[in-house]
Amino acid sequence: MIKLVLLMALFCFCLAAAPPAPPVIFDTDMGNDVDDVIALAVLNALQTRGECRLAAVTITKDNPWAPVFVSLLNTFYGRPEIPIGIVKGGATPEDGNYNRQVAQLTAKNGKPLFPRRLSETSTVPDAVQVLRRALAAEADGSVLIVQTGFSTNLARLLDSPPDSISPLTGRDLVARKVRLLSVMGGHFTNPAFTEYNIKMDVLSAEKLFAGWPGPIVAGGYEIGISIQYDPARLESDFRWIQDHPLVHAYHFYRKMPYREPLWDPASALYAVRPEGGYFALSEPGT
C-alpha cells in the first residue's frame, strides 16, 4: 500500500511539474510555396505531442482560398476551432498552385474531400484583430510567433492602437506577451541576395526588424535550401492514411518529382524546440 501511495504521489508530481505547452501563432503566406503546408503540419504534429498549442493562424497572402486551405488542414488534424485571420490589401492575390486545387477535391459522395470550417466566400477576420485577440488571451511572456511569409501582418500589429480587445498598443502587447519571434526571411551568407519574403513587403520588414520589442531569430534562405524534402518519402511518411492535404498539395505545387527546401519548417521547429540541437545561432545582429 505504501509503495502504491508513493507511486501515485510521484505520478501526480510529474503531471503537476509538466510545463504548459507554449502557445504558437503561425503567420504564413500559405499558397505561395508548399513548405508553408509542411510547417503547419509540423506545428499540428508538435501540438499532438504536447509540445505546443496553435493559438491562431494569420495569413499574409491576400487570396480567399488561403484561409480555406488553412482551415481544412487544421480540421484534418482535428482542430477546426483554431482562429484564422487574413491580411487586407496585401500582396500576392493570385490563387497559387494548391490552395484552391486541394480545397476543390471531392470524395466519391460529391462532398469536399477535406472538410473545413471556412469557404472561399466566408468573411475572415482581419489578421491584426486575430493577432491582438490571441495575444491578449495568453500569459505574459509565453507566446511563440512563427512568421514564414511577408512582414505585413506583424508590422501592422506593431502600429495597432488600443481597442476593445486590449488597452495596450500593438507594440506594448507584443512586449508583454511574446517570448520569441522566429522568422523565415533574408539571406545572411549572401546579403546581396533578394529573398522573397523580404522583398514582397520591404517597408513592413524594415518596420518589423527595427521596431520589434523582443528577441527575433531569423532563419535565412541558406538554411532551408540545405534541408530538402525527398519526394520518395511521401509514400512512406503518409502511408497511414489514403488522403492527406499535404500530399495532395505537394503534387499540385510542382511537377513531380522535386525536392522542396524546408525553409518554413526550420523556423517552426526552432521556435518550439530551440534547444533541440538542430540549429546553432550566430552572434546577435543590430
Return the CATH number at 82.
3.90.245.10
> Is the residue at 9 inside a domain?
no
249 lies in some domain: yes
Alpha helices in the chain (DSSP H): 2-17, 35-48, 65-76, 99-103, 127-136, 152-159, 170-177, 196-199, 202-211, 221-225, 233-237, 245-253, 263-272
What is the total count of domains within the chain? 1
* Average pLDDT over all residues of the chain: 94
Rg of the chain over Cα atoms, rounded to whole angstroms, equals: 20
Over residues 169-196, the mean pLDDT reads 95
Answer yes or no: is 261 within a domain: yes
Q: Is residue 147 part of a domain?
A: yes
Give the rounded percent of residues in the chain with a pLDDT score beyond 70. Answer: 93
Neighbour-count burial of 254, counting CB atoms closer than 10 A to its CB (0-12 exposed, 13-18 middle, 19+ buried): middle
User: What is the share, in percent, of the chain residues with pLDDT greater than 90?
Assistant: 90
Sign of CA dihedral 85, 76, 37, 244: negative
Q: Is residue 164 over pLDDT 60?
A: yes
Q: Is 277 part of a structural domain of the chain?
A: no
- Which domain covers residue 181, as residue numbers? 21-272
Residue 171 has pLDDT above 60, yes or no: yes
Contact 28, 149 (CB under 8 A): yes
| Predicted TM-score (pTM) of this structure | 0.93
Q: Is residue 144 part of a domain?
A: yes
Q: Residue 168 falls within a domain, yes or no?
A: yes
Residue 4 lies in a domain: no
Question: Whole-angstrom Cα distance, residue 161 to residue 85?
Answer: 18
Q: Is the pLDDT of residue 19 over 90?
A: no
Grid coordinates standing for 269?
521547429
pLDDT category of residue 6 using cuts at 50, 70 and 90: very low
